[in-house]
Amino acid sequence: MSRIVVEGRRRLEGSISVQTAKNGVLPVLAATILNSGVTVIEKCPKLTDVDVAISVLEGLGCRVHWEGDSLIVDTSTATGTAISCELMHKMRSSVIFLGSLLARMGRADICLPGGCELGARPIDIHVSALEKMGAKFTSEDEIISCVVTRRTACELVLPKPSVGATENIMLFAVSCKGTTRIINAAKEPEIADLQDYLNALGFRVKGAGSPVIEIQGKGELPATYVRHRPIPDRIAAATWLCAGAITGGTVELRSARPEHMKAILDALKESGSSIYVQGDRITLIGPPRPKAIRRLTTAPFPGFPTDAQPLFFALAAVADGRTFIEETMFENRFSFGPDLARMGAGVFIRGKFAAIDGTTKLTGQPVVAKDLRGGAALVLAGLAAEGQTIVDQAELIDRGYEHIVNTLSLLGASVWRD
Ligand code: UD1
């Protein structure tokens, strides 16, 4: 168990570079299986979720090593088809290895990802799309086995624009001769990043970022050397901006992609921050006290991201007025609410709705991170609180933030590991 201690009430000020996107690098790591060669992932973030993905790749027979901040993945030696239950439980998104294993090996044996800290998180959309393309699923106890009986390029209409299902379909479709069209595909920037990597491998994929993605499958997989640098992390970027806003500070982000963050930047402006964008730099000047945002509703991209919702919940905890939040993606995404209430905010939660009455008097408390972004929200609240906030189970925060303590210290926060 690891703990992060925050001594609050310091105005943050400084300039930092944004880490590479966790949700960008994980599907690319899964996609490396499609290549019987070597992929160099530049500026690969050192996250515990990346460590889990490396263990998955090694378990499948790949050779993986770091050279500075590049991750070198040699997938020429891959022969395995199984991902252990232990690894699947550590990271539910290991399910995105399904598509590339089916494409390369014709088979995948994974453990039912089941529920996670955010809620049920079913994979029915993944399964029904892959079945339509020719995969056959059987399950026994916790294990799902999936075998390719045919490889049929086809048109798939998703009932919801699921990020993971869109990725799994793209990964399998490259091995199906002909054109696969995904209608109502996820439009997140990480999907476009995956498209870029697949095209660098020699596949022909277009449309990512729009609701229709077209994959021209070749029926054969490459053996090549490719370098890829995934996009910056828009949720980590949102975290540092919220840290500036919650402390009335000034934060400059370098190497950001403001075009991926419109809904986040609009929400920060609504809460009284001034935002200046110049190329890949974003500067935030926080107000003396944030204003309540009238209503925040999470939605698929380009809507307000569910992963940033906890961060803005923390901002609402100090804002002037009442903020309403509707969480439409995951049913258990207010786990930090009771901790924020103990710190002094007015928090009312009913199902997928929350109302937050901000206070100028948050006080530090021992709190417990229940999930990655909820944990980050508690750290943010600690930055604004009087006294010490001790965030337990901080290892959950390390799933998605590279050196969170160092980054906040660079901005002048008083924060350390216990
Ligand atoms: C990805 C992100 C996660 C983010 C989420 C939504 C990664 C590694 N994770 O997760 O950080 O919060 O997108 O932006 O990229 N659903 C179904 N059936 C399915 C699949 C999904 O009902 O088969 C539902 C989910 O329960 C959820 C919604 O669809 O309500 C969106 O989920 P999805 O986009 O699939 O999220 P993930 O890919 O799991």
Average pLDDT over the chain reads: 96
How would you classify the pairing of strands 143-148 and 135-140? antiparallel
Backbone phi, psi, residue 258, to 5°: -55, -30
Query: Which three-class secondary structure state does DSSP give residue 328?
Result: coil
pLDDT tens track for 119-144: 777 899 999 999 999 999 998 888 99
Query: Which atom of ligand 1 is the closest one to the Cα of 330?
Result: 30
Q: How far apart are CA 288 and CA 141, in angstroms?
A: 56
* pLDDT for position 60: 98
* pLDDT for position 218: 83
CA-based R_g, the chain, Å: 21
Least trusted range by pLDDT, from 52-56, 181-185, 330-334: 330-334
Query: Which atom of ligand 1 is the closest one to the Cα of 127?
Result: 23
pLDDT tens track for 293-322: 999 999 999 999 999 999 999 999 999 999
Percent pLDDT > 90 in the chain is: 93
Q: Is the CB of 126 under 6 A from ligand 1?
A: yes
How many angstroms separate the alpha carbon of residue 160 from the centre of ligand 1? Answer: 9
* pLDDT for position 161: 98
Average pLDDT over residues 83-98: 92
Average pLDDT over residues 33-45: 98
Least trusted range by pLDDT, from 55-69, 140-154, 160-174: 140-154
Q: Is the CB of 162 under 6 A from ligand 1?
A: yes
Q: In DSSP terms, which residues pair with 252 in a beta bridge? A: 15, 283
Distances in Å between the alpha carbon of 93 and those of 40, 41, 366?
Answer: 21, 19, 30
* pLDDT for position 96: 94
Q: Does residue 370 contact residue 301 with C-beta atoms inside 8 Å?
A: no
How many angstroms separate the alpha carbon of residue 153 from the centre of ligand 1? Answer: 24
How many angstroms separate the alpha carbon of residue 161 from the centre of ligand 1? Answer: 8
H/E segment holding residue 26: helix 22-31
* Confidence band, pLDDT 50/70/90 cuts, at residue 45: very high
Query: Would you give the DSSP letter of residue 362?
Result: -
Q: Is the CB of 373 under 6 A from ligand 1?
A: no
Q: Is the CB of 166 under 6 A from ligand 1?
A: no
Residue 274 burial (CB count, 10 A): 12
Long-range contacts of 49-56 (CB under 8 A, 24+ apart): 49/22, 49/91, 49/93, 49/399, 49/400, 50/22, 50/25, 50/26, 52/87, 52/90, 52/91, 52/94, 53/25, 53/26, 53/29, 53/91, 53/94, 54/29, 55/87, 56/83, 56/87, 56/94, 56/97
Q: Is the CB of 371 under 6 A from ligand 1?
A: no
Least trusted range by pLDDT, from 9-18, 134-143, 371-380: 134-143
* pLDDT for position 115: 57
Query: Which three-class secondary structure state does DSSP give residue 188?
Result: coil
H/E segment holding residue 27: helix 22-31
Cα angle 126, 131, 132; round to 5 = 105
Query: Ligand 1 pocket: which of 91, 157, 160, 166 to mutate (most atoms <8 Å of CB)?
Result: 160
Q: Does residue 261 contact residue 233 with C-beta atoms inside 8 Å?
A: no
Residue 76 has pLDDT above 60, yes or no: yes
* pLDDT for position 116: 66
Query: Which three-class secondary structure state does DSSP give residue 159?
Result: coil
- Dihedral sign, CA of 41, 304, 384, 290? positive
Peptide bond preceding 302 in cis form (omega within 30 of 0): yes
Q: Does residue 239 contact residue 264 with C-beta atoms inside 8 Å?
A: no
Backbone phi, psi, residue 379, to 5°: -65, -45
Q: How far apart are CA 162 and CA 145, in angstroms?
A: 22
Average pLDDT over residues 379-406: 97
Q: What pTM value is reported for the model?
A: 0.97
Backbone phi, psi, residue 377, to 5°: -65, -40
How many angstroms separate the alpha carbon of residue 163 from the centre of ligand 1? Answer: 6
Known catalytic membership, residue 242? no
Taking phi first (over 0 means left), then psi (-120 to 50 degrees means alpha), and beta for anything else, what does residue 184 get? left
Average pLDDT over residues 230-235: 98
Nearest to 16 by CA among 232, 190, 259: 232
Least trusted range by pLDDT, from 112-116, 225-229, 360-364: 112-116
CA-closest residue to ligand 1 atom 1: 163
Residue 288 has pLDDT above 90, yes or no: yes
Least trusted range by pLDDT, from 56-70, 88-102, 235-249, 288-302: 88-102
